[in-house]
Amino acid sequence: MQPALPAAVNNQWQQLIAHIADSSKAVAAAESGELRAAESYCRLLPININGRSCSGLIDSGNVWRSVISLKFYLSLGLLVRDLRPVGIDEIHTAKEGADLKVMGEPRRTLHLRLQETATRYVFRPVVVKGLSMDVNLSGPWLKANRWDHIYSRDCLRIQGKDVPLRQPGEEVQVVSDLYLRNAVVAKANALTLVDLVAPAIKGGNMPCGDGIIRGSRHFMDKTDLHPGLNAIGTCDHDGNVRAAVLNTLDTDVTIRKGMSYGTFSLTCTPVEWDSAPQRICVMEAGAPAEPPSAGRRKRKQEDGDDDTMPAQPGANKKSTCTTAPPRESRADKKSTYLEKFVRTAREKERRSVENPKVDVTGFNEHQKRQWLQTEFNLKDSPFLRSAPDLAAATDVLLEFWDLFSHDGTFGKTSLIKHRIITPDDALPIKQRYRPINPSLEPDLRKQLDLWLDHGVIEPADSPWSSNLVAAKKKGGAIRWCIGTRTDTSRSP
């Protein structure tokens, strides 16, 4: 029999036991909280590679290269002999004896797409045998394509849009590209049905059924036609589905076979088909709560002559179904654009008259020196280390004072005119408009406003047209140029 402990020692012992128990509970609670946080961490992105839908793991900690599994690589219809070595044979993992074999990289680049954007990204990953996930997107690849990982919102910032990420095990909505099965002639001022094919469903990588057909902006820019933006269609086991295109032009347009139309996405997962039928609801931002024809429908109901569908019990009375009006014709859009262009130029000219810039024509020599040192940041230059150096550099610039633009204008002359001489039988070259990257649009608008302010551009309706080209400077700024190489190639 053990001797009894003194009362004071016994109390201290009980307090120590209680402290240990509380500490164990705190550690267990922290570990369970960390486990729940890890389980709720979103790191998967629905992507499409060469027409095959999958989930890509966003791995910002991977500072090497993006990788894909050998199994997924073979599912794309590619062969092992089409790989080339990358100089590394194995990838070491944290688990001992679980190294992964590097097979190489594809000789031809793959193409990666997202449902939220129409951009096609060049993708050349390393193929790894035994990789647990299909695709692993590395941090350097994300940075090179300007994909910003925002951890606090579980999303990626891509081209100004927040693209949500998903949790492991969460159902991913499968999306397939759509292509024209046959060549079609879209009649002028008419609606034409076209036969499409979904490669993911045809290849068995995606279940068939009802889905949403979304025409792409790329298709509109290439054909000047209007595809369905949120149309409902049923795709069969062979990947066949039909959609419509609207031709608002006065001439027929031929759409070539195999041209990309847009995407086909399932309305719900196969598990939800039986429990949630007819669950589609497409809402457009900025739609009015009551359409303009609501007053006429209300008067019809009062007269007892209403041919509209009766409201369902419990339905939201404010819900409306609207159809988008047809887009303007090319002539109407050009006229509207030119009117807005001229109106904006005149408004800016009026503001410049009301707020004139500083006139430097009356500056004395001291004021001219101060202006040159401020505009050229001479005092901050690391090469001008002394007052004599600063004075000498200012003297050189002051010698050419008349050559500088003091009010920010570009300057223009009528002493000489530039002409591109072409043969008499040369046909005008009107290049098709190329969509601007959304991330460059603010810089382009700023540049156009600057050109308008200085009067170096003006509205024109010429049969000759060349696209703008964005050339990046060394400092990261954008220089906007005009690609006239095609025009000058006609010059003898």
The whole-angstrom separation of Cα 465 and Cα 334 is 13
The whole-angstrom separation of Cα 430 and Cα 464 is 5
Give the pLDDT confidence of 256-277 residue by residue, as tens digits.
998 889 888 876 655 455 555 4
* pLDDT of 242: 92
Per CATH, the number for 175-272 is 2.70.40.10
Which helix (H) or strand (E) covers residue 84, if one does? strand 83-84
The whole-angstrom separation of Cα 316 and Cα 4 is 76
Highest mean pLDDT among 144-153, 215-224, 287-296: 144-153
417, 371 in Cβ contact below 8 A?
Answer: no
Q: Which of 175, 220, 232, 182 has the alpha carbon at shortest distance from 199? A: 175
The mean pLDDT value for 341-361 works out to 59
DSSP states of 156-225? EEETTEEEE-B-TT-----EEEEEESS-EEE-TTEEEEEEEE-HHHHTTSS--EEEEEEE-HHHHHHHS-
Residue extents of the structural domains in the chain: 1-28, 44-164, 175-272, 365-403, 417-492
Of the candidate ranges 247-251, 301-305, 331-335, the one whose mean pLDDT is the lowest: 301-305
Q: Of 2.40.70.10, 3.40.50.1820, 2.60.40.10, 1.10.10.10, which CATH number belongs to 44-164?
A: 2.40.70.10
The whole-angstrom separation of Cα 71 and Cα 134 is 8
Highest mean pLDDT among 11-20, 44-53, 275-284, 291-300: 44-53
Of the candidate ranges 309-323, 331-345, 423-437, the one whose mean pLDDT is the lowest: 309-323
One-letter amino acid identity for 458? E
Residues facing 471 on adjacent strands: 479
| Residue with more model confidence, 68 or 277 | 68
* pLDDT of 124: 92
* pLDDT of 314: 41
* pLDDT of 54: 82
Sign of the Cα pseudo-torsion (138, 143, 145, 150, in order) = positive
| Residue with more model confidence, 180 or 267 | 180
The whole-angstrom separation of Cα 54 and Cα 44 is 10
* Residues contacting 282, CB < 8 A, separation 6+: 212, 230
How does the average pLDDT of the chain come out, rounded? 75
Residue 110 has pLDDT above 60, yes or no: yes
Distances in Å between the alpha carbon of 458 and those of 12, 29, 342, 446, 468?
A: 90, 69, 8, 16, 15
The whole-angstrom separation of Cα 21 and Cα 27 is 10
Residue showing tokens 């590394």: 88
Distance of CA 200 to the CA centre of its chain: 23
Q: What are phi and psi of 322, to 5 degrees?
A: -120, 155
Give the pLDDT confidence of 205-245 residue by residue, as tens digits.
677 888 889 888 788 888 888 898 888 888 888 889 999 99
The mean pLDDT value for 384-409 works out to 85
pTM: 0.40
Look up residue 430 and give its DSSP letter.
Answer: B
**Over 323-364, what HEC string results?**
CCCCCCCHHHHHHHHHHHHHHHHHHHHHHHHHCCCCCCCCCC
CATH level 3 topology of 417-492: HIV Type 1 Reverse Transcriptase; Chain A, domain 1 (3.10.10)
The whole-angstrom separation of Cα 382 and Cα 376 is 13
